[in-house]
Amino acid sequence: MNSTTDAIAVLRKELGGDICIMGHHYQNDAVIAHCDISGDSLELARHVPHVDAAHIVLCGVCFMGESAALLAGKGQTVHLPEPDADCLMSAMIPACLARSVLKQLADAGRNIVPLAYANTSLAVKALTGEYGGAVCTSANATTMLAWALERGDGVIFMPDKNLGHNVANLLGIPVDERHVLRIDGRGIIDSPSQPLGRKILLWPGSCSIHARFRPEFVEEARARYRGCRVAVHPECRQEIVVLCDAAGSTSFLIREAARVAENAPGSTLVIGTEENLVHRLAASHRGKCDIFPLSRAICPEMSKVTEKKLLDVLKDIAARKSEPLAVDKNLFEPALLSLTRMLEVCGN
């Protein structure tokens, strides 16, 4: 215990049931130790409507706080320890650019349903709701892509092209039915030269943390840990996913580690995702199985949240000085629509 840890414990006691601290699995151990609820983005979103505390402190990146603010009850406030922590992938899709692209596709006469990964701004989620689409997470992207395909001539999957390809592979949609859009700051460029009639249009974005894994990392892991199992997050490129034994969301990778520890004691699991989670899984299953990261992979934005910043936001809440996240009222209804469509399709 250090003085920051102690100070947080004291403040938490003082604030009692008024505070609920939620944290994403990619947070570091010192932050996670203070969380009442930890989870991936879908799990955190699902928990919000059931939280009674007046103040939710969300240890994660900006879009997670925005989703919590959307789903929070009346009078409940949401606070971010580090409001500048922003998902690098969500920054690859400015809402005004997404609007231009959707308009270009609609003007071309196509009924394209937008499917927005949870890692997008509130404004992109609102746009998705407005155009009849829904949000998805890595845990439910397959279900949601099938849902979206039933509703239009095609789907635009935004912004993670890698997740889009991996999910399309799971649904058996051939590569020649997909197209990664070429876009500049104004919209789709040189439309006649692009196969815009394809079933799946992919926004050209990706997570720079997961996209850095390369096929040779899998080969090296297999050579170093003979007989190991390799599992990765589907934000990795499809060339990596096909080389691995399993791929799935953050919650899948957590279940996979527990399954290997239970059913294959003494074996080795190599996991390709954000490293904080991998080290935590290695520690919790130590003595039952060995778990190693596929490579170094720390998300710099998630790392902006520290124990010290958590303490600061708790102090501000106690002193009634903390500025809660404000949701633009013009975005509220359409963004909530895109999120609730996902929660309804996948069960609350």
29 to 68: interface string for ligand SF4, x by CB under 6 A = --------------------------------x-------
Q: Are 318 and 14 in contact (CB under 8 A)?
A: yes
Say which residues have a Cβ less than 8 Å from residue 111's Cβ, sequence separation at least 6. Answer: 152, 153, 154
The count of other CB atoms within 10 Å of the CB of residue 174 is: 11
Q: List, in order, residues 6 or more apart from 251 with CB less than 8 Å away.
A: 39, 40, 42, 43, 139
Among 148, 155, 209, 270, which residue sits at the site for ligand SF4 (rule: CB under 6 A)? 209
CB of 3 to ligand SF4, least distance (A): 29
**How many residues interact with ligand SF4 (rule CB under 6 A)?**
11
- Residue closer to ligand SF4, measured from CB, 65 or 187: 65
What is the contact mask toward ligand SF4 in residues 82 to 111, using x (rule: CB under 6 A)? -----xxx----------------------
Given the complex with ligand SF4, which of 87 and 123 has the nearer CB atom? Answer: 87
Q: Which stretch binds ligand SF4 (CB under 6 A): 81-89, 146-154, 166-174, 187-195?
A: 81-89
Tell me the backbone φ, ψ of residue 319, rounded to 5 degrees.
Answer: -90, 5
Question: Under 8 Å CB-to-CB from 317, ≥6 apart: which residues?
Answer: 15, 18, 19, 55, 57, 79
Residue type, 62: C
Residues 277 to 306 in contact with ligand SF4, rule: CB under 6 A: 299, 301-302
The verdict on 119 binding ligand SF4 (CB under 6 A) reads yes
Kindly state the smallest distance separating residue 300's Cβ from ligand SF4, in Å: 8
Shorter beta-carbon distance to ligand SF4: residue 163 or 181 = 163
Q: Are 43 and 80 in contact (CB under 8 A)?
A: no
CA 214/CA 211 separation, integer angstroms = 8
Angle at 321 between CA 17 and CA 311, to 5 degrees: 60
- Report, in Å, the least distance between residue 274 CB and ligand SF4: 5
Residue 278 and residue 291 in contact, taking contact as beta carbons nearer than 8 Å:
yes
Whichever of 27 and 128 has its CB closer to ligand SF4, that residue is 27
* Nearest-approach distance from CB 212 to ligand SF4, in angstroms: 10
* 187-188/183-184 β-pairing: antiparallel
Mask: binding to ligand SF4, 165-194, rule CB under 6 A, as x and -?
------------------------------
Q: Which two tokens stand for residue 295?
A: 């490579």
Contact call for residue 274 and ligand SF4 (CB under 6 A): yes
Max CA separation in the chain (angstroms): 63
Q: Which residues bind ligand SF4 (CB under 6 A)?
A: 61, 87-89, 119, 207, 209, 274, 299, 301-302
